[in-house]
A and B are shown apart, each in its own frame.
Chain A
Amino acid sequence: MHTIAWLILGLPLLSATCIHLGFKRNQGLSTLIATSSALITLILSLVILGNGKDTSTAFSWVGAMGEHFKGIEIGLRIDQLSRGMLIVVTGVGFLVHLFSLTYMKDDRAKARYFCGLSLFMFSMTGIVLASNFIMMFIFWELVGLSSYLLIGHWYQKPSAADASKKAFLTNRIGDFGFMIGILMLWGITGTVTFSELELWSATPAPFNSTYLGIALLCIFAGAVGKSAQAPLHVWLPDAMEGPTPVSALIHAATMVAAGVYMLARFFTSVDLEIIAFAPQTIAWIGGITSLLAALMATQQDDIKKILAYSTLSQLGYMVMAVGLLNAQAGVFHLFTHAWFKALLFLGSGAVIYACHHEQNIWKMGGLRKKMPLTFLTFTIGTLALMGFPLTAGFFSKEQILEAALHQSTPLFVMAAIVATLTTFYMGRLLLVAFLGENRSKNSHHAKEVGALMLIPLVTLSVLAVISGYPFVASALSPLYDHVDFHFGPAFWASLTALVVGGGFAFTFYRNAETDPLSDKKIALVFRNKFYVDELYAQIVRFGQDCVAAIVHFIDELIIGGLIVGGCSRAAEGFGKLFGRLQSGNLHGYATLFGLGVILLIYITVFVP
């Protein structure tokens, strides 16, 4: 059992190492190694799932030092949460590998790509299996690295290179908080291991709950970075510069969900009733993120960007759920969302592939006829995302709305609006991209993609439908509480959202050639993402680059120039002065000699 767990963690690393060191030249072999390692990990994950026992294993990474510090462990914790998450990660991972075989087949740096994928699988599995926060932080950062590598796969494109940099740096800011949180948590509880945190929580020593709350918020900052919550959400849309399968894997299904996963870990380990302010903050941040992202999504033209904002929005949902102390709902949505969002991304990948890397939905159109199967799967994904009844998304969203309804009315209203907006923009996407007429040469020449691409699409679309049903969810979902369905306000709200959103989308975008809303002022704000990027650019420019320039200037001027230079100039000046005393003139010498005599006598005889 432990061996299998270690294998799941180690295989992708092995694969990445092998590819990098040995088989980079042999592209085919590289892809094969990576894909088969993904397959094996999936199978192993299923084996673990089938086994179903909670267990953990660890080895000491840094030994204990003193009494307070018990060392850092690299450990694997297998419980329901990690088992389910493992399935999501390896499942989506394998399908994305499979999809990539076709999607990337013309890329010259295929080996590097698959190496990156394997590295990502390794890091992500690490997060999932981590038994303590420091180990989670380690893999957290490694995930950031692999994301950096994969987003920047086409590093020669300046936008891709910049996007990868942005993603890494934004995540770093989140990690800054995460690390503080871990440190504080360590200080407060004396441990960072989840199991020990549970023990601590069960028998809490007297402690200052405010600081625990602050620690939680700091840890949440990590999630804000990784799960792209406001205000650190800016990297995710940009990350769409990476290859589409990467977006599906990392920026839709798994990595961005890691924040939610981590929060779920924390919330299931520590009893948080006493520090309500922290979860509330989290819930609000989630809610606001989801609303803003949904608004932004309504005016995007890039198919991947729309999906990216929808991801943001859905992540906000999940975070909100977790913040409402309903981790089950959040994680359940994570689980369902992973499938249908991966499906949507891979679907968009297929479309982009078919349209020769055209991503603007206004230049597509009429793809329904050209790629019927893709259209079908994409529609299923869209419906799931909208929360159409009987799809997976419906169930999970329902739980979140339910939770919001019970905890906070404003958040519930917000969630309902988001649901409406989701229907609206997804409807827009579907209508513009797949229906209507071909609006460009690229879409005109599009044709159905190959089987290797379709297999993942079909598999995912099946999962997008069934994963919400209790018989699947209870088996596979990381956390799942069965809630009996009832026609409450949540259901009606959801249904209303569906109808209203869909109706608006249909009204505006049926057979539209251009966006009829784009000339509205408010639309401009949405299109420009509330100018957050611009704001950040200014902050970076003034808060960092200008400060850096000023600091550098001061550093050189005052320390380098005035103090150091001053000292050396003073020394040189004194040297010159002394040199001038050495005038070569005996008069001068005699005078100075006499002066010295007077002083010397004075000091010796008359001073004491």
Chain B
Amino acid sequence: MSAYWLEIIVLIGALALLCIEAFAAPKRKTTIAVGAIFPLVFALILTFIAQDFSHLNQELDRFYAWDAQAKFFKSLTLMSGILTLLLAIDYRKILSRFTANPDSDDGTGEYYCLILFACAGMMWMASAKDLVSLFVSLELTTITSYILVGYMRRNVGSLEAGVKFLILGALSTGFLVYGIAWLYGATSTTDLEVMSHALEKANPTYVLFGLSLILISLAFKIGAVPMHLWIPDVYQGAPTPTTAFLSVASKAAGFCVAIRVLEPFLESHLSDSVILILSILAGATILFGNLAAINQRNFKRLLGYSSIANAGFILLALCSWNQGGDGELSSPQVVMFYLAVYLVMTFAGFFVLVTIAKNTGSDDISGFDGLASRNPLLAFLTTVIIGALAGIPLTAGFLGKFLAFNIAITSSHWVPVSLGFIGVAAGFYYYFKIIRAMYWREALDQTPVKISVSSLYTLSVLTALLIVLAFSAEPILWIIGG
């Protein structure tokens, strides 16, 4: 089977569900959500058996890459799509409260379909190797995200987040387009592969200018300082499944695109400038993300800052550009590894958040107070998850950070690395605030915290994964081709 069917499958699923929603509206919209999981799972399975088809279709080949990186990011997108849907099922009460009709979940059906569309967009992003297809698929994702963020149209926070995201997103789109224009001007092509050959002769100022403009937009997408400003607000305001989706899938797609775009430049004679700016971005992002998180009281917002911080660590791996080989992982592989781990722990974190928010009605860290006595199992799972987020060894989270630092130290990027140390230490502080809340503090309300069965299972599996991956990360290496 050819690889480009993967997106089609997802799209077909989305369209079908949209039609069902429109014409045969089921009573319970969770049916749609469950239905939406199937195409994703199907596509996920197919990802691993899909074939290369470049010899079949020359035109398609220009826009569609099918390599380990694409494979990985597609499966990552699909995984996060599945998890987002699971999360959304858990979250449906809150979602429906703020959509069309507070009493029923009428307005929620499209939400699940839109996630599928966004997945399709990100999967295309994963394969995009031409600036045009990159732009188009990125815009598909972004515009879908606007809708997903502002979905709760009776919730001021969600709308406010939607508007902020919209304005800043459009701004970054503007820079992206302008940057593409300059790159196109300098190299007369939008095909990245062709571009990499054309760089020799191109005007370096034009190229760097164009690249820096594109970098602005990519930095926005992955949430790197100074284009991170939208993240805390949007993450906080958006419906939690959207937040999770944005912080994992969207960020991952951003990194995929970043790798694709930057690779020709990092391999060219201009690599010094690119590495310089990337390391500055990495350092600033790590520092900002971690330090700004210190004073957070809202867990959702905290996760937002944490996602900025993690973007910084991923950038650290990226700026230590390394082609790998000879038993070493290349930078993109480290990025992918990190993202895989990041997916697991971030979603686990969001599952916890949804459960807590459902029980306490707020996203505040104070909602965790006394969790150790209110639900010891959940507290234990959360402890492991937090440990992984903070990067405690013997969890997969550490392995990710370790690889990032490993590659950065090997290429002697001492300034961002030392900022990274500060970041990690600060990270311990704010992540451990959750642990503190769970164990040290006494809750005012001692009622047990209830967790839905699906969440519990998902959470348990994710937590177990965090431990297991720390000891046998070979599966991830297999996917990323390490």
The stretch of B207-215, B387-395, B434-442 in contact with A is B207-215
Q: Interface stretch among B60-68, B78-86, B163-171, B349-357?
A: B163-171
Q: Are B276 and A607 in contact (CB under 8 A)?
A: yes
Chain B interface size range: 35 or more
A604 and B294 contact, CB distance less than 8 A: no
User: B164 near A607 (CB under 8 angstroms)?
Assistant: no
Interface residues of B in 267-311 (CB under 8 A from A): 272-274, 276-277, 280-281, 287-288, 291-295
Q: Does B230 contact A (CB under 8 A)?
A: yes
Q: Does residue A589 face the partner (Cβ distance < 8 Å to B)?
A: yes
CB-nearest residue of chain A to B273: A608
Q: How near does chain A come to B359, taking the closest CB pair, in angstroms? A: 27
A450 CB to closest chain B CB (Å) equals: 67
Q: Of A572, A586, A600, which is within 8 A of B294 by CB?
A: A572
* B272 with A608: CB separation less than 8 A: yes
Interface pair A575/B295, CB less than 8 Å apart: yes
Checking B219, B276, B292 against A578 with a beta-carbon cut-off of 8 angstroms, the contacting residue is B292
Residues in B whose Cβ lies below 8 Å from that of A607: 273, 276
Segment at the interface with B among A71-79, A175-183, A361-369, A590-598: A590-598
B39 on the A face (CB < 8 A) = no
A558 at the interface (CB under 8 A from B): no
Inter-chain CA distance A551–B459, complex, in Å, is: 51
Shortest distance in angstroms between A596's beta carbon and chain B's nearest beta carbon? Answer: 3
Q: Determine if B215 and A592 form an interchain contact, defined as CB atoms under 8 angstroms apart.
A: no
Chain B stretch 154-179: residues in CB contact (< 8 A) with chain A: 163-164, 167-168, 171, 175
Tell me if B226 and A592 are in contact (CB < 8 A). Answer: yes
Given contacts A586-B164, A593-B229, contact A605 B171 (CB under 8 A): no
Q: Is the interface of B mostly helix, strand, loop or mixed?
A: helix
**A574 interface contact, C-beta 8 A:** yes
Nearest Cβ on chain A to B129's Cβ, whole angstroms: 22
Contacts known (A575-B295, A579-B295); A600 close to B215, Cβ less than 8 A: yes
Partner of B209, one of A571, A576, A592, A605: A605
Question: How far is it, in angstroms, between the C-alpha of A251 and the C-alpha of B61 when the chains are bound?
Answer: 100
**Contacting B212 at CB < 8 Å: which of A578, A586, A600?**
A600
* A9 to B418 alpha-carbon distance, docked (Å): 61
Q: Does A601 contact B (CB under 8 A)?
A: yes
Q: Could you tell me the distance in whole angstroms from the C-beta of A108 to the nearest C-beta in chain B?
A: 48
Given B167, B171, B295, which contacts A576 in the complex, CB threshold below 8 Å?
A: B295
Contact A597 B175 (CB under 8 A): yes
Are A601 and B209 touching (Cβ within 8 A)? yes
A604 near B232 with CB under 8 A, answer no
B227 interfacial by beta-carbon distance below 8 Å? yes
Q: What residue of chain B has the Cβ atom nearest to residue A580's Cβ?
A: B292
Bits for A555-592, please: 1 = Cβ < 8 Å to B, else 0: 00000000000000001101110110110101011101
> What residues of chain B lie closer than 8 Å to A581, measured between beta carbons?
229, 292
Q: Are A605 and B205 in contact (CB under 8 A)?
A: yes
Q: Give the residues in chain A near B44, CB-CB below 8 Å.
A: none
State whether A603 touches B276 (Cβ < 8 A).
yes
Most B C-beta atoms less than 10 A away, residue of A579, A600, A608: A600
Does A599 interact with chain B (Cβ within 8 Å)?
A: yes
Chain A residues with CB under 8 A of B175: 597
> Is B168 in contact with A589, judged by CB distance below 8 angstroms?
yes
The distance from the CB of A563 to the nearest CB of chain B, in whole angstroms, is 14
Task: Evaluate contact between B216 and A596: CB separation under 8 angstroms.
Answer: yes
Cβ of B426 within 8 Å of any chain A Cβ, yes or no, is: yes
A595 touches B226 (CB 8 A): yes
Cα–Cα, bound, A574→B429 (Å): 14
Is A582 within 8 A of B167, CB to CB?
A: no
Question: Is B167's CB under 8 angstroms from A590's CB?
Answer: yes
Q: How far is the CA of A581 from the CA of B305 in the complex (A)?
A: 13
Least distance between A6 CB and chain B CB atoms (Å):
53
Distance (whole angstroms) from the CB of A333 to the closest CB of chain B = 68
Interface string of B167-209 (1 = CB under 8 A from A): 1100100010000000000000000000000000000010011
Other-chain contact of B291, A574, A588, A599, A608 (Cβ < 8 Å): A574
Q: Is B263 on the interface with A (CB-CB < 8 A)?
A: no
CA–CA, A600 to B227, complex, Å? 10
Docked complex Cα distance between A586 and B292 (Å): 18
Give Cα A241 to B285, complex, Å. 70
Partner of B233, one of A584, A599, A608: A584
| B-side contacts of A575, CB under 8 Å | 291-295, 426
- Point out the residue from B273, B281, B291 that lies within 8 Å of A571, measured CB to CB: B291
Which of A574, A575, A608 has the largest count of B CB atoms less than 10 A from its CB?
Answer: A575
**A601 x B212 contact (CB < 8 A):** yes
Contact A571 to B292, CB < 8 A, known contacts A593-B229, A603-B277: no
Contacts of B225 in A (CB 8 A): 596
The reply to whether the CB of B456 lies closer than 8 angstroms to some CB of chain A is: no
Across-interface contacts of A589 in B (CB, < 8 A) = 164, 168, 229-230
Of listed A574, A588, A592, A595, residue having the most chain B CB within 10 A: A574
Evaluate contact between A596 and B226: CB separation under 8 angstroms: yes
B422 touches A (CB below 8 Å): yes
B229 touching A582, Cβ below 8 Å: yes
Contact A572 B295 (CB under 8 A): yes
* CB-defined contacts of A608 to chain B, threshold 8 Å: 272-273, 276
Task: Give A92-117 as 1s and 0s: 1 = Cβ < 8 Å from B's Cβ atoms.
Answer: 00000000000000000000000000
Distance, CA A596 to CA B215, complexed state (A) = 11
Taking CB as reference atom, which chain A residue is nearest B208?
Answer: A605
Asked, given contacts A603-B276, A604-B211, A604-B212, whether A590 binds B168 with beta carbons under 8 Å apart, the answer is yes
B211, B229, B294, B429 interface centre (most CB from chain A within 10 Å): B229
Check A582 against B233 for contact (C-beta < 8 Å): yes
On chain A, the residues within 8 Å of B232 by CB distance are 582
Closest to B295 in A: A575
A406 to B163, CA, bound (A): 108
Chain B window 233-247, contacts with chain A (Cβ cutoff 8 Å), 1 for yes, 0 for no: 100000000000000
Determine the residue in chain B with the shortest Cβ distance to A603: B277
Is the pair A579, B292 in contact by a Cβ cutoff of 8 Å? yes
A604 with B229: CB separation less than 8 A: no
**Closest approach, in angstroms, between the C-beta of A584 and any C-beta of chain B?**
6
| CB-CB nearest in chain A for B229 | A589
Instruction: Report the separation of the CA atoms of residues A576 and B292 in the bound assembly, to the nearest whole angstrom.
Output: 7
Instruction: State A582–B231 Cα separation when bound (angstroms).
Output: 10
- Chain B residues, Cβ within 8 Å of A582: 229, 232-233, 292
Shortest Cβ distance from residue A446 to the other chain B in the assembled complex, whole angstroms: 68
Residues on B with C-beta less than 8 A from A592 are: 226, 229
Residues of A within 8 A of B291 (CB): 571, 574-575, 578
Identify which of residues 411-460 in chain B touch chain A, using a CB-to-CB cut-off of 8 Å. 422, 426, 429
The closest CB in chain A to the CB of B212 belongs to A604
Residue of A at shortest CB range from B236? A584
- The answer to whether B277 touches A586 (Cβ under 8 A) is no
B-contact 0/1 string along A137-174, CB 8 Å cutoff: 00000000000000000000000000000000000000
Q: How far is the CA of A121 from the CA of B164 in the complex (A)?
A: 87
In the complex, chain A residues whose CB is within 8 Å of the CB of B211: 604
Q: Assess whether A593 is in contact with B276, with CB atoms less than 8 Å apart.
A: no
Residue of A nearest to B207 (CB): A605
Distance (whole angstroms) from the CB of A139 to the closest CB of chain B:
48
Identify the interface centre among A581, A584, A605, A608: most chain B CB within 10 Å of its CB. A605
Bound Cα distance from A600 to B276, whole angstroms: 10
Q: Which residues of B contact A593 (CB under 8 A)?
A: 168, 171, 226-227, 229
Partner of B213, one of A571, A601, A603: A601
CA distance A578 to B280 in the complex (A): 17
The 6 closest A-B pairs by CB, nearest first: A596-B226, A578-B292, A575-B294, A604-B212, A589-B229, A574-B291
- List 13 A-B residue pairs with CB atoms under 8 Å apart, sorted by A's residue number: A572-B295, A574-B287, A575-B292, A575-B293, A579-B295, A581-B292, A584-B233, A590-B168, A593-B229, A595-B226, A601-B212, A604-B276, A607-B273
Given contacts A575-B294, A601-B212, 20 further A-B pairs with CB under 8 A are A571-B291, A574-B287, A575-B292, A578-B291, A590-B168, A592-B226, A593-B226, A595-B226, A596-B219, A596-B225, A600-B277, A600-B281, A601-B213, A603-B277, A603-B280, A604-B208, A604-B215, A604-B274, A607-B273, A608-B272
